[in-house]
Chains A and B, each alone.
Chain A
Amino acid sequence: MAFNSLTFLCFLLIVFLAHRLPLPWSLKKANLLLASYTFYAAWHWPMVFLLIGATVFNWLVAQRICSTVESKRPAVWLMFGLAGNVFVLGYFKYGIFLIENVRRLLGLPGNSPHWNIVLPIAISFFTFHNISYLMDVHRRKIHRLPTLLDYAFYLAFFPHLIAGPIVRASDFLPQCEQARSAAAGEIVWGFTLFVFGLFQKVVLADATLGPVANAIFDHAGEYRPSDCWVGVLAFSGQIFFDFAGYSTCAIGVAHCFGFRFPENFHSPYAADGFSDFWKRWHITLSSWLRDYLYIPLGGNRSSVERLYLNLMLTMLIGGLWHGAAWNFVFWGGLHGIYLITERILSSPRPARQQTGVYPAAFRLVRVLLTFFFVNLAWVFFRSKSFPNSFAMLAGLFGMSHGANSLATASTAPVIFVMASALALQFWSRERSLWRIGVDCHWALLSVVLASMIFCLCTMPENENAFIYFQF
């Protein structure tokens, strides 16, 4: 059940009305849990049992970690819990990829066997939730263990279940303890975010940018360089509006039920460096990788060489998290190289940026450079294979002699949308969406809302799945 489907709108309405009934808080949570399992079952109902199994397993392991806190056993239980989670993720998501690569590495002949493993939707997301919970319990960041109902609710709450944001247990579980009821203003803001998120997904990502990106990437190198750049720009916008749209919807829906989720995107294409980019793009994933991978690996606490190695490992694993394919690993590696290069170039002169003669202009140049390199990396992320990626790069730099061209009616909206998005993101680098909404005159806001609703009603193509569902 995708946020951009009619069934979800009906589902949301029913669940919302049920949540407003004067029932005890525990019953309301049970209702939301049941709704969340129904939401998950809509894709492939047997997988609900996997979700329940993962919930019970991690809840029990956390109990054991806590109860053996005085001995050395907590670490053993933590390792056991982590191994269980990694095994499940590895089996469902990376099993075929691993076997295929081992087979190729050993030069074993024959066709690959037909593996019929159904990839459970959202497995990467709920596994990361589980891992962070176990590690936080072990680090004693969570002092009061939740009830099984609260933990199941935390893991399965439908707004974040499928594609995040990755919500930390230490942030969410305290919200479960006391009865919460969204005030009128919070509900209205929640629906505003929901409409805004849907607009990003349906109108900008699917109807405007997606078709152009698909046309160019499906025929890599066959178009003129200028059109190839338009295609890369289109994908750059498509993936942002698709995923940021989903996150905005999720945050909005959670607001309607009185819950707060962390921000997941904050003007990422206005980042003035790669480190800044990762503080603005998929914030909950990058902070997860920082806290549960980069820092445990040693972070920046040891030698410079080790720091670079840690950065690279974190980004490679971050790339692999996006999918069991080498192009994702390469994309992660490319960002690792970007981050290391940035460190090398910026470390000896930290104060220089602040004392420049034209700081705004200097920042703008850095923003554009960052955007350029981020776009180059998207080529590997989007392409179906490495030959496809290199054909696309050849097309971008005029080395493929592609002669096809896109119609102005296709390129003009992409350029307009992306130029507007860049300008808006640069303008709102330090502003929150809420602040922009509140500062905007209500009459102007109503026109914006009406325009978005009009476009949402008149421009749906198909109910395209969100790109991040596959991760």
Chain B
Amino acid sequence: MHSSISSSEFQTSASLIKAWLLGICLAAAALTVWELAWRQLGHVPSVPDDKLLWCSQRRLVYASNAVVLLGTSRMHVGFSKEIFRALHRDRPLIQLAIEGHGPIATLRDLASDNKFSGKVLCEVFTDALLPAAVNAQQPWVDAFHQQLTLEKRLGKDLQVFLQSHLVFLDWHLNPKRVLSEWMRSHHLPRPFYIRGFPDRFMEADFSAGDSSQRLFAFDPAKGRAAYTDDPLTQAEWITHVKSLEPFVTAIRKRGGSVVFVVFPISGQVRKIEEEFRPKSLFWDPIRTETFIRLEHYSELPGIAQLSCPDGSHLDKRDARVFTAALLSDLHVSRQLPILSR
């Protein structure tokens, strides 16, 4: 057998042990300096989202009185868990929204899961409910059902624990990326405006963080073209929404509930939306033509005036205002009553 070494040679390995001892000390020192330097520059630990993290949260939906959040990035950054937990201390809150992917596949999965009987708040916008977007979240659903092994769960828990405590594990601060950024702009990365948490919640701080690389960049010309190229009639729309009723019915039958929520938008995004998909033609008929419960931001007191810095995502301070108004309305309408203690 070709082996790289012989047994006798290990007798001469004292220097190897010395090298290891010094190497570990040097590495620990370098990592400490690296960590402290980034903290000094204002960076904080942030947990990046991925499929496995989504799967680990998907497991939790069976808890008693659970409230599950579905949707896209608007839900991901626009719902304040602090406000929710202050009002609903006895309800577990699970974040299953996914950036850029319509929520219907996950809603369908929860509807077909006989063990699930929780309450669903599902953030929607018109395109997210159209047939083209129905399977957008299916890869996450498949990953949960097929790939979530015990080993992967344990590994993810361990990784998330480290990421939530160490700044240098943020992928923005990977030395290779730092070097690329330096070569490109001669600047070190500034703290990113989005911060992720172990429970998949995110908050957007547009006032302090670096939002040059936006989660969502809206191009008015493209936004307008998307509506004009693929016009949608009211009849088609109602048909699409009606096709979702069986999912809502299935969850209701088990004692749960589903509420669709339209999140705040502003500026050009709102202008184009109101031009091509006006509330009176698209959202109001849902209440008369289907039995799906809908909350529209414009009807919540004080919310229509909120401004989204990028047109469609709330700053973390406004997310608190919006969440409080939404939860208050849901409590009054008995859709999500505050549990008596």
B5-29: CB near A (< 8 Å → 1, else 0) gives 1010111111111111111111100
Q: Is B332 an interface residue (CB 8 A)?
A: no
Are the CB atoms of A7 and B17 closer together than 8 Å? no
Interface residues on B, range: 35 or more
Q: Is A453 an interface residue (CB 8 A)?
A: yes
When C-beta atoms are compared, the residue in chain B nearest to A410 turns out to be: B180
A41 to chain B, nearest CB (A): 9
When C-beta atoms are compared, the residue in chain B nearest to A39 turns out to be: B151
Q: Indicate which residue in B15, B16, B171, B184 contacts A409 across the interface (CB closer than 8 Å).
A: B184
- Starting from the known contacts A447-B23, A458-B174, 7 additional A-B residue pairs (CB-CB under 8 Å) come to A10-B154, A184-B13, A207-B176, A407-B184, A443-B22, A446-B20, A449-B24
Are the CB atoms of A438 and B12 closer together than 8 Å? yes
Are the CB atoms of B20 and A449 closer together than 8 Å? yes
Q: Indicate which residue in A1, A449, A454 contacts B151 across the interface (CB closer than 8 Å).
A: A1
Alpha-carbon distance A438/B4, docked complex (angstroms) = 12
Alpha-carbon distance A184/B16, docked complex (angstroms) = 10
Alpha-carbon distance A408/B182, docked complex (angstroms) = 12
Are the CB atoms of A42 and B151 closer together than 8 Å? yes
Are the CB atoms of B10 and A186 closer together than 8 Å? yes
- Of listed A168, A443, A458, residue having the most chain B CB within 10 A: A458
Which secondary structure characterizes the binding site on chain B?
helix
Q: Is B149 an interface residue (CB 8 A)?
A: yes
Q: Is A251 an interface residue (CB 8 A)?
A: yes
Q: Is A108 an interface residue (CB 8 A)?
A: no
Considering the complex of A and B, which 3 residue pairs feature the smallest CB-CB distances, nearest first? A185-B13, A449-B23, A450-B26
* Residues of chain A with a CB closer than 8 A to B183's CB: 408-409
B150 to chain A, nearest CB (A): 8
Alpha-carbon distance A207/B179, docked complex (angstroms) = 13
Alpha-carbon distance A77/B152, docked complex (angstroms) = 42
Q: Indicate which residue in A185, A208, A407, A454 contacts B16 across the interface (CB closer than 8 Å).
A: A185
Q: Could you jot down 7 A-B contacts, CB within 8 Å?
A: A10-B154, A185-B16, A207-B174, A409-B184, A450-B26, A461-B174, A463-B155
* Residues of chain A with a CB closer than 8 A to B154's CB: 7, 10
Q: Is A147 an interface residue (CB 8 A)?
A: no
A145 to chain B, nearest CB (A): 20
A422-462: CB near B (< 8 Å → 1, else 0) gives 00000000001110011000110111111101110111111
Are the CB atoms of A43 and B149 closer together than 8 Å? yes
Chain B residues numbered 150-188 whose CB sits less than 8 Å from any CB in chain A: 150-152, 154-155, 158-159, 162, 168-169, 171, 173-176, 179-180, 183-184
Are the CB atoms of A457 and B2 closer together than 8 Å? no
Q: Indicate which residue in B7, B20, B150, B151 contacts A188 across the interface (CB closer than 8 Å).
A: B20
A12 to chain B, nearest CB (A): 13
Q: Is A366 an interface residue (CB 8 A)?
A: no
- Given the known inter-chain contacts A185-B10, A438-B9, A445-B19, please indicate yes or no for A409 contacting B180, CB distance below 8 A: yes
* Residues of chain A with a CB closer than 8 A to B1's CB: 168, 171, 260, 262
Alpha-carbon distance A462/B174, docked complex (angstroms) = 12
Q: Indicate which residue in B14, B23, B173 contacts A450 across the interface (CB closer than 8 Å).
A: B23
* Residues of chain B with a CB closer than 8 A to A381's CB: none
Are the CB atoms of B19 and A442 closer together than 8 Å? yes
- Given the known inter-chain contacts A442-B19, A447-B23, please indicate yes or no for A458 contacting B155, CB distance below 8 A: no
Q: Is A191 an interface residue (CB 8 A)?
A: yes
Chain A residues numbered 400-428 whose CB sits less than 8 Å from any CB in chain B: 407-409, 413
Q: Indicate which residue in B17, B26, B179 contacts A184 across the interface (CB closer than 8 Å).
A: B17
Chain B residues numbered 1-59 whose CB sits less than 8 Å from any CB in chain A: 1-5, 7, 9-27, 30-31, 34, 50
Q: Is A6 an interface residue (CB 8 A)?
A: yes
B158 to chain A, nearest CB (A): 5
Are the CB atoms of A262 and B10 closer together than 8 Å? no
When C-beta atoms are compared, the residue in chain A nearest to B162 turns out to be: A6
A415 to chain B, nearest CB (A): 14
Alpha-carbon distance A186/B9, docked complex (angstroms) = 9
Are the CB atoms of B159 and A6 closer together than 8 Å? yes
When C-beta atoms are compared, the residue in chain B nearest to A186 turns out to be: B10
- Of listed A6, A168, A446, residue having the most chain B CB within 10 A: A446
Are the CB atoms of A432 and B17 closer together than 8 Å? no
Are the CB atoms of A457 and B23 closer together than 8 Å? no
A237 to chain B, nearest CB (A): 15
Are the CB atoms of A458 and B173 closer together than 8 Å? yes
Alpha-carbon distance A409/B20, docked complex (angstroms) = 33
Alpha-carbon distance A184/B162, docked complex (angstroms) = 30
A411 to chain B, nearest CB (A): 12
Alpha-carbon distance A461/B180, docked complex (angstroms) = 15
Q: Indicate which residue in A251, A457, A461 contacts B4 across the interface (CB closer than 8 Å).
A: A251
* Residues of chain B with a CB closer than 8 A to A189's CB: 5, 10, 13, 16
A461 to chain B, nearest CB (A): 7
- Given the known inter-chain contacts A188-B17, A447-B26, please indicate yes or no for A7 contacting B31, CB distance below 8 A: no
Alpha-carbon distance A448/B16, docked complex (angstroms) = 12
* Residues of chain B with a CB closer than 8 A to A251's CB: 4
Q: Indicate which residue in A5, A43, A448 contacts B155 across the interface (CB closer than 8 Å).
A: A5
Chain A residues numbered 62-113 whose CB sits less than 8 Å from any CB in chain B: none
When C-beta atoms are compared, the residue in chain B nearest to A10 turns out to be: B158
Chain B residues numbered 122-155 whose CB sits less than 8 Å from any CB in chain A: 149-152, 154-155
Are the CB atoms of A434 and B175 closer together than 8 Å? no
- Given the known inter-chain contacts A42-B149, A463-B155, please indicate yes or no for A458 contacting B31, CB distance below 8 A: yes
* Residues of chain B with a CB closer than 8 A to A451's CB: 27
Alpha-carbon distance A239/B199, docked complex (angstroms) = 36
B30 to chain A, nearest CB (A): 5
Are the CB atoms of A453 and B24 closer together than 8 Å? yes
Chain B residues numbered 76-94 whose CB sits less than 8 Å from any CB in chain A: none
When C-beta atoms are compared, the residue in chain A nearest to B11 turns out to be: A185
A117 to chain B, nearest CB (A): 15
Alpha-carbon distance A6/B160, docked complex (angstroms) = 11
Q: Indicate which residue in A10, A438, A453, A458 contacts B23 across the interface (CB closer than 8 Å).
A: A453
Q: Is A183 an interface residue (CB 8 A)?
A: yes
* Residues of chain B with a CB closer than 8 A to A171's CB: 1
* Residues of chain A with a CB closer than 8 A to B169's CB: 458, 460
Are the CB atoms of A263 and B2 closer together than 8 Å? yes
Q: Is A315 an interface residue (CB 8 A)?
A: no
Are the CB atoms of A450 and B30 closer together than 8 Å? yes
Chain A residues numbered 286-337 whose CB sits less than 8 Å from any CB in chain B: none
Q: Is A243 an interface residue (CB 8 A)?
A: no
Alpha-carbon distance A272/B57, docked complex (angstroms) = 54
Q: Is A283 an interface residue (CB 8 A)?
A: yes
Are the CB atoms of A434 and B5 closer together than 8 Å? yes
* Residues of chain A with a CB closer than 8 A to B14's CB: 185
A215 to chain B, nearest CB (A): 14
Q: Is A246 an interface residue (CB 8 A)?
A: no
A14 to chain B, nearest CB (A): 12
* Residues of chain A with a CB closer than 8 A to B174's CB: 207, 458-459, 461
Alpha-carbon distance A127/B24, docked complex (angstroms) = 40
A172-215: CB near B (< 8 Å → 1, else 0) gives 00000000000111101101100000000000000110000000
